[in-house]
Amino acid sequence: MDELYRLSIELTIWLQENYPQLVGVMALITSMGEELFYLAALPAVYWSIDKRLGRQLGYVFLLSAAINNVAKNLARQPRPFWLDPSVRLRDAESYGLPSGHAQHATAVYLLLAAWVRRGWVWPLALGFILLMSLSRIYLGVHFIQDVIVGFILGLVVLGLFLFWQRAFAERFSRRILGRRLLIMIVIPAALALVYVGVLLLLGAPNMDVPWAEFVPAAELTAHEDVVSTLAGLLGFGVGMILESSRVRFRADGPIWQRIVRYALGIAVALGIWSLRAVLPTDPEWVALPLRFLRYLLLLLWVTYFAPWVFVKLRLAAADAESEVRIALWQ
Following CA atoms 312, 54, 188, 62 in sequence, which dihedral angle do they give, to the nearest 10 degrees?
A: -130
Residue-wise pLDDT for 86-145, tens only, equals: 887 777 888 999 999 999 999 999 999 998 888 889 999 999 999 999 999 999 999 999
Alpha helices for the chain (secondary structure H):
2-18, 23-31, 35-48, 51-75, 80-83, 100-116, 121-138, 144-173, 177-202, 215-242, 255-273, 284-300, 306-312
This prediction's pTM: 0.90
Inside any domain, residue 324: no
Taking every pair of Cα atoms in the chain, the longest distance, rounded to a whole number of angstroms, is: 62
Inside any domain, residue 55: yes
Q: Is the pLDDT of residue 4 over 90?
A: no
Beta bridge partners of 318: 249
Inside any domain, residue 16: yes
Residue-wise pLDDT for 238-260, tens only, equals: 999 999 888 999 999 999 999 99
Give the residue among 84, 204, 75 at the shortest CA–CA distance from 146: 75
Give the residue among 113, 51, 136 at the shortest CA–CA distance from 310: 51
Mean pLDDT of the chain: 90
Q: 34: which DSSP letter?
A: S
Ranked by mean pLDDT, which of 45-49, 70-74, 84-88, 197-201 comes out on top? 45-49
Cβ within 8 Å of residue 330, ≥6 positions away: 52
Inside any domain, residue 322: no
Residue-wise pLDDT for 266-309, tens only, equals: 999 999 999 988 888 888 889 999 999 999 999 999 999 999 99
pLDDT at 193: 92
> Mean pLDDT throughout 32-38?
92
Inside any domain, residue 318: no
Helix, strand or coil, per DSSP, at residue 118: coil
Inside any domain, residue 101: yes
Residue-wise pLDDT for 132-148, tens only, equals: 999 999 999 999 999 99
Confidence of residue 179 (pLDDT cuts 50, 70, 90): confident
Range of the domain at 90: 2-312
pLDDT at 165: 81
**Domain tally, the chain:** 1
pLDDT at 321: 65
Q: Is the bond preceding residue 98 a cis peptide, omega within 30 degrees?
A: yes
> Mean pLDDT throughout 40-66?
94
Give the residue among 238, 208, 225, 243 at the shortest CA–CA distance from 292: 225
> Mean pLDDT throughout 9-24?
92
| Residue 330: CB atoms within 10 Å | 7
pLDDT at 324: 46
pLDDT at 322: 55
CB contact at 8 A, 237 and 301 = no
Helix, strand or coil, per DSSP, at residue 126: helix
Q: Is the pLDDT of residue 6 over 90?
A: no
Q: Is the pLDDT of residue 149 over 70?
A: yes
Residue-wise pLDDT for 195-229, tens only, equals: 899 888 888 888 888 889 999 999 888 889 999 99
Inside any domain, residue 14: yes
Using a 10 angstrom Cβ sphere, with 0-12 exposed, 13-18 middle and 19 or more buried, the burial of residue 99 is: buried
Helix, strand or coil, per DSSP, at residue 98: coil
Inside any domain, residue 320: no
